[in-house]
Amino acid sequence: MVPFSILDLSPVAEGTSVTQSLESSKRMAQKAEEFGYRRFWLAEHHGMPGIASAATSVVIGHVGAATKHIRIGSGGIMLPNHAPLTIAEQFGTLEALFPGRVDLGLGRAPGTDMRTAQALRRNLDAGAQSFPNDIVELQHLLGPASDNQSILAVPGTNSNIPIWLLGSSLYSAHLAAALGLPYAFASHFAPDSLIDAIAIYRDRFKPSETLHKPYVMVGAMAAAADTDAEAQRLFTSAQQQFVNLRRNVRGPFPKPIEDMDAFWSPMEKLNVEHTLRYAVVGSPKTAEAKLNNFLKETQADEVILSMPIHDIEARLKSVELFAGLDVFEKTAA
């Protein structure tokens, strides 16, 4: 048994609005809290009509205000898009509002296309190259103030918010190990380096003031329903979205369809099924078997599930069904 968490992108479902999307994220966080999930994280993406979590810290505050004890945070903040001081102030504010509940997951990717990234960062190369130093700076800003420290994050200083490193490559594994940070691997959309990255992280981990031994979280796309057929139908929304990304088609999160073979080409099918090969889709019995295999392969300490389901009621039911699995370790209030 391991703790389960949820990664939410506030999907703007076809036929709905951003307002409805943010309301659905609130309801999903409340449902996750009710059933004992460990964390509810939101992700930073920009320029995508199907995702409403671009102002990530604002949406974290929205779900934090609607819940009482579940941990809330980012999966992640794309740090090269921001000055470390800005993030320290934002998350210091969240920690002041929701004491002891906030996680700060950091990523290095832009979370968008290159033109939008340019508009966000202005200097793309400097952002990526300074990523390790920016993490250290952010740790310093969130820690206790030193004597004669000239720059203070207010709020933020001495909040000591847990920092996680997110990644989809061996680079992130080396960096998380060197800094002694908990590590979340994006196997829900980047499965290829998962096993090697975990091995590197565990082998090279250096204990830090905040973490004495390696801690690995792995991601999986997920959709549970009463039957395998219904879960697979619900999951066609995510499959369409991944095809649309490759076609450079931007739009709201699509409704499920009955026949994916009428939508994608054989090559698109091959690519998407490879990308989503760790997806946990099916009835509770099927989902449990898939998760058992996933945990056996990774020996992960925690699983974070992204549930890209168009209909919010079906999404909430999926949250409940996963909480009923034998591998689910309920987090006490």
Structural domains for the chain: 2-329 (3.20.20.30)
185 touches 219 (CB < 8 A): yes
Amino acid symbol at 249 = V
- Environment class of 160 (CB within 10 Å of its CB; exposed 0-12, middle 13-18, buried 19+): middle
Query: pLDDT value at position 3?
Result: 98
Query: pLDDT value at position 148?
Result: 86
Query: pLDDT value at position 116?
Result: 72
Query: pLDDT value at position 110?
Result: 65
117 touches 51 (CB < 8 A): no
Query: pLDDT value at position 119?
Result: 73
119: left (phi over 0), alpha (psi -120 to 50) or beta: alpha
Phi, psi of 96 (to 5 degrees): -65, -35
Record the tokens describing residue 84, joined without a space.
Answer: 């470390």
Query: pLDDT value at position 84?
Result: 95
pLDDT values of the chain reduced to their tens digit, one per residue, 333 residues: 999 999 999 999 999 999 999 999 999 999 999 999 999 999 999 989 999 999 999 999 999 999 999 999 999 999 988 999 999 999 999 999 999 999 999 998 765 667 776 777 656 565 567 899 999 999 999 999 988 889 999 999 999 999 999 999 999 999 999 999 999 999 999 999 999 999 999 999 999 999 999 999 999 999 999 999 999 999 999 999 999 999 999 999 999 999 999 999 999 999 999 999 999 999 999 999 999 999 999 999 999 999 999 999 999 999 999 999 999 999 988
Query: pLDDT value at position 112?
Result: 64
Which residues contact residue 146 at a Cβ distance below 8 angstroms, ignoring those fewer than 6 apart?
none
Query: pLDDT value at position 238?
Result: 97
Q: How far is it, in rounded angstroms, from Cα 277 to Cα 301? A: 20
* Angle value at C-alpha 309, between 307 and 310, nearest 5 degrees: 150
